[in-house]
Amino acid sequence: MIGERPSSGADAGADTGEARELARARAGDVAAFGALVRRHQERVFRFLHRMLDAREEAMELSQDVFVKAWQALPGWRPEAAFSTWLLQIARNAALDQLRRRQVVRFAPLEEGLEVADEAPGPEARYASRQRQAQLERALRRLAAEHREILLLREVEGLAYGELASVLGIAEGTVKSRLARARSALLEHFDPHTGASHE
Amino acid sequence: MNSSCPTGSCPSGPCPADEALSALADAALPSEAGTGLIAHCAGCPRCTRRLAELRALRDAFAALPAIRLEVDLAAQLVDRLQAGATPAARKRRQSPWWVRWADRLRPPTPWRFGLSPFAGSVAAVGLGLWLGGLLMELEAPRSPPAANTTLAAMSVFGAVPPGNLCPRAGACGASGSTR
Dump pLDDT digits (tens) for A31-61.
999 999 999 999 999 999 999 999 999 999 9
Q: How far is CA A134 from CA A123, B37, B57, B65, in A?
A: 16, 31, 12, 12
Confirm or reject contact between A33 and chain B (CB < 8 A).
yes
What whole-number distance in Å separates Cα of residue A185 and Cα of residue A142? 7
Q: How far is A2 from chain B (nearest CA, A)?
A: 5
Return the amino acid letter for A112.
G
B13: β partners: B10
- Is B147 strand, coil or helix? helix
What whole-number distance in Å separates Cα of residue A85 and Cα of residue A25? 15
Looking at chain A, the domain(s) classified CATH 1.10.1740.10 span 12-103
Question: Residues 56 to 115 of A: which have CB under 8 A from any B CB?
Answer: 59, 62-63, 66-67, 70-71, 73-74
Per the CB < 8 A criterion, the answer to whether A158 and A90 are in contact is no
Dump pLDDT digits (tens) for B138-161.
766 554 444 455 555 555 556 666
ipTM of the complex: 0.78
What's the number of CA atoms in the CB half-sphere (13 Å) around residue A181? 24
Residue A140 or A4, more confident? A140
The phi, psi pair for B109, rounded to 5°, reads -75, 155
At the second CATH level, the architecture of A110-198 is Orthogonal Bundle (1.10)
What whole-number distance in Å separates Cα of residue A79 and Cα of residue A72? 15
Q: How far is B113 from chain A (nearest CA, A)?
A: 23
Per the CB < 8 A criterion, the answer to whether A141 and A188 are in contact is yes
Query: Which residue of A37, A183, A189 is in closest CB contact with B3?
Result: A183
Tell if the CB–CB gap between B63 and A189 is shorter than 8 Å: no
Above 50 in pLDDT, residue A147?
Answer: yes
CATH code reported for the domain at A12-103: 1.10.1740.10
What whole-number distance in Å separates Cα of residue A109 and Cα of residue A134? 10
Q: Taking all residues of chain A, what is their mean pLDDT, rounded to a whole number?
A: 84
